[in-house]
Amino acid sequence: MSETRSVGRSIWAIIAGFLVCVVLTLVTDLAFHAMGVFPPLGQPVSDGPLALATLYRIVFAILGTYVTARLAPHAPMRHALIGGVIGLVLSIAGAVVTWNKGPAYGPHWYPVALIVTALPCAWVGGRLREMQLRQPVAR
């Protein structure tokens, strides 16, 4: 495989994993707002719904980084961790932008939880792919 094609596939793998995570998160958020699990947009959110959001964001981050690792042309763990670093940077940026902006952005533990879980989720997603690659091929 040419170097250019490999780089292109690497970039695509990272983008695809990111899109999986973002789309699933947005759809789930909107569904929970529509069902009344979350309050209307712009209203304060209590700890319970934010704990639920944290849990499904963890699952979606693992799934997204697994997709990245699965599509990676080589070094699946490295690709998953690159996705995790992107998630970490975006989580830090989100925390900085929303910190002390009022109750509509929830308690401080929530953005901190997203920051703290970004890299472990990426590691789990990459590890799942590595474990899958080690399985013997069924005939």
Mean pLDDT of 8-28: 97
Confidence (pLDDT) at 27: 98
Answer with the residue of higher pLDDT: 78 or 46: 78
* 72-129 confidence digits (pLDDT tens): 999 999 999 999 999 999 999 999 999 998 887 889 999 999 999 999 999 999 999 9
Nearest-CA neighbor of 44 among 104, 110, 98? 104
Please give the torsion angle defined by the CA atoms of residues 91, 96, 99 and 101, in that order, rounded to the nearest 10 degrees.
-110
Helix orientation angle between 3-35 and 76-98, rounded to the nearest 10 degrees? 50
Task: Give pairs for 55-62: CB < 8 Å, separation 24+.
Answer: 56/25, 56/28, 57/25, 57/114, 57/117, 58/117, 58/121, 60/20, 60/21, 60/24, 60/25, 60/28, 61/21, 61/87, 61/117, 61/118, 61/121, 61/122, 61/125, 62/121, 62/124, 62/125, 62/128
Confidence (pLDDT) at 9: 95
Whether 139 shows a pLDDT value over 70: the answer reads: no
Mean pLDDT of 37-56: 92
HSE-up of residue 60 (Cα within 13 Å, Cβ side): 21
Confidence (pLDDT) at 1: 56
Confidence (pLDDT) at 103: 81
Confidence (pLDDT) at 5: 81
Confidence (pLDDT) at 42: 81
Percent of the chain with pLDDT over 70: 97
Confidence (pLDDT) at 23: 98
